[in-house]
Amino acid sequence: MSTPAYGYDVLHNPRLNQGSAFSLEQRKTYRLEGLLPPGVNTLELQIARTHAELAHLDNDLQRYLFLSDLQARNETLFYALLMSDPATYMPIVYTPTVGEACQKFDHVFRATRGMYIPIDARGRVKELLRNWPEADVRFIVVTDGERILGLGDLGVGGMGIPIGKLALYTACAGVPPMHCLPVTLDVGTNNVALLEDPLYLGLKHERVRGDAYHAFVDEFVDAVQDVYPKCCIQWEDFANFNAVPLLARFRDKVCTYNDDIQGTAAVALAGIYAALRISKQKLTDQRFLFLGGGSAATGIAELISEAMVLEGLDIDTARARNSLFDVNGLMVKSRTDLADFQKIFAIDHEPVDVFVDAVKALKPTGIIGVSTVPQLFSQPVIEAMSELNERPIIFPYSNPTSRSECTAEEAYRWSKGQAIFASGSPFPPVQIDGRQFVPGQGNNVYIFPAMGMAVFATEATRVTQAMFIVAAKAVAEQVSGESLDKGLIYPPQSSIFEASMHVAGAVAQYIFDHQLARVERPADLVAHIRSAAYSPVYR
């Protein structure tokens, strides 16, 4: 441990604090004698004690707040705990628990984390960024809080999403936390309940739109390039009408991506690759029907289309095999209400207003739910899919759990065990006629932390679409035959770090092969990535 701080300054610095694990010699050196109980614990004992404390709390929101306090108090212990049992702690620090935490953000606010950049700081964004204590930020996850999960406009309460995402960058793939910065761009909120809440912590006016909004975002991106020239910007939970244009505006100019669009697409494609190992079919023979027509749906549809092109289809034929259905029905060419990013998936077909009718008409091999509206994959829908396909692909991907289009129990039971299932939120194993099914969670956590680690280790200048196809294949190839036999089409979350290392290696190889790296290619790429990864140990 190397630090110029002493006494309480050490104990109050989450990067330096070791709590009861400080050795007797360290306590002398850093003037901690008398400031701690005399007993010395190992990190392993601290993990066990913290795990026991969490087990005695009443609900996951309390556990989320406990872990938030721990992160602010002892960063090493926080990450050591998460990495000791990722399957248990990921749903607490991120979805689904983070949704409730964002909704109650202003009422449970404690220690601040990250940066809040209000639109009334226009002209001074660079100045605000320089208030952050770290000089070498490599990752910013940024939101404007308008479309948090499936919960809508939560204003500055959406900060829980960048904080949670970046925690998983570290816990799942070893991206060093000192290089990560969560950011909220506060442009106001249209949530009336928040505007009327005296405890609301954001700007109390309606959202700024149009030229002023885009000028503010442009200033933010420019400021990041100046202050943190090696930084990758991840856009998170922006409304569709901003998310798609922002990605299109910046993707070829700076190192950036949108996880809701590209990460969601890659994890869906990974699930499809694994599902095809069960059904023994080719990707180019698939037809998908999406419930939802926003940026997530079009992002998945486009990545699937691009993957189909790699297997021999032309892009127009591939896109025609991916159809969208939204609140106004099937997206057909005769509709006049489609956004530009949706039009490429509109098909020549008569209007269809009921989803199950669209299933029967189009005969998809898979349905993918990104509607954020629960229970729309109804029994008639699942039964229709099962009549059309021996092994129908059923992916209700909406988050949090309360927004899922169907449950694992419903999908397996209504399909009589035929469904190849994955969801956006976790569901427990299901027993059907004496057979156990283990539902997979199509969680972006299989993609974005590994993508982050690959970018970090290579200092990549861009994040491209092709990198997400590489990542999807790398995820799918790690699913064992034993897992597939149980219906599990993603690697177990208990081994997420090793899965991420494999994906990061594949993406990093692509980055070097396509001259997108800022560093020299190492002789041993795998060793290079592992040596760059953060390890939560006391020093």
Q: Which domain holds residue 244?
A: 113-260
**274 and 222 share one domain:** no
Summarize pLDDT for 411-455 with one digit per residue, the tens: 999 999 999 999 988 899 999 988 999 998 998 999 999 999 999
Reported as a single tens digit per residue, the pLDDT across 107-156 is 999 889 999 999 999 999 999 999 999 999 999 999 999 999 889 999 99
Q: 196: buried, middle or exposed (CB in 10 Å: 19+, 13-18, 0-12)?
A: exposed
149 phi-psi bin (left φ>0, alpha ψ -120 to 50, beta other): left
165 is catalytic: yes
440 and 514 housed in the same domain: no
Answer yes or no: is 513 within a domain.
Answer: yes
The domain tally of the chain equals 4
**What is the DSSP code (8-state) at residue 152?**
B
Residues 204 and 171 in one domain: yes
Peptide bond preceding 491: is omega within 30 degrees of 0, i.e. cis?
A: no
pLDDT, mean over the chain: 96
CATH number at residue 370: 3.40.50.720
Q: Which of 242, 260, 278 is the last residue of a domain?
A: 260
CB 186 within 8 A of CB 119: yes
pTM, two decimals, is: 0.93
CB 441 within 8 A of CB 493: yes
In a 13 Å sphere around the CA of 305, the CA atoms on its Cβ side amount to 20
pLDDT at 2: 54
Q: How far apart (Å, rounded) are the C-alpha atoms in residues 377 and 383?
A: 10
SS3 at position 408: helix
Are 225 and 310 members of one domain?
no
Say whether both 523 and 474 belong to one domain.
yes
Shared domain for 326 and 437, answered yes or no, is yes
Does residue 47 contact residue 34 with C-beta atoms inside 8 Å?
no
What mean pLDDT is predicted for residues 221-247? 96
Single out the catalytic residue among 79, 165, 169, 412: 165
For residue range 271-284, list pLDDT tens digits in order: 999 999 999 999 99
- 170 in Cβ contact with 79 (< 8 Å): yes
Residues in contact with 189: Cβ distance below 8 Å, sequence separation at least 6, in sequence order = 145, 153, 154, 155, 156, 195, 200, 202, 203, 206, 207
236, 260, 284: which is the final residue of a domain?
Answer: 260
Q: How does residue 402 score in pLDDT terms, banded at 50, 70 and 90? A: confident
Written as six digits, the tokens of 430 are 């299901």
Claim to verify: residue 390 and residue 431 sit in the same structural domain: yes
Is the pLDDT at 312 greater than 60? The verdict is yes
Assigned domain for 65 exists = no
Q: Would 176 be classed as within a structural domain?
A: yes
pLDDT for position 425: 82
Residue 49 forms part of a structural domain: no
C-alpha–C-alpha distance, residues 412 and 512, integer Å: 43
Q: What is the pLDDT of residue 467?
A: 98
Mean pLDDT of 179-184: 98
The strand pair at 366-369 and 393-396 is best described as parallel
Note whether 135 and 214 are same-domain residues. yes
Residues 376 and 438 in one domain: yes
Q: Which residue has the higher pLDDT, 426 or 477?
A: 477
Catalytic residue among 79, 94, 228, 446: 94
Residues 527, 407 share a domain: no
| pLDDT for 265 | 96
In a domain, 106, yes or no: no
Residues 249 and 304 in one domain: no
Measured between its terminal Cα atoms, the distance across the chain in Å is 4
φ/ψ of 132, rounded to 5, equals -70, 135
The per-residue pLDDT for 95 is 84
- Whether residue 495 is contained in a domain is answered as yes
| 298 has a pLDDT exceeding 80 | yes
Confidence (pLDDT) at 428: 93
Rounded distance between C-alpha atoms, residue 158 and residue 293, angstroms: 23
What's the CATH number where 237 sits?
3.40.50.10380
Q: Phi, psi (5° rounding) for residue 520?
A: -70, 145
Residue 154 in any domain: the answer is yes
Range 198-218 average pLDDT: 98
The stretch 361-389 carries a mean pLDDT of: 97
Whether 87 is covered by a domain: the verdict is: no
| CATH code of the domain containing 17 | 1.20.1370.30
pLDDT tens, position by position, 487-521: 999 999 899 999 999 999 999 999 999 999 999 99
Neighbouring residues of 357: CB distance < 8 A, sequence distance ≥ 6: none
How far, in Å, CA of 178 to CA of 496, rounded?
Answer: 21
If asked whether residues 348 and 280 sit together in one domain, one would say yes
Q: Contact, 497 vs 450, CB < 8 A?
A: no
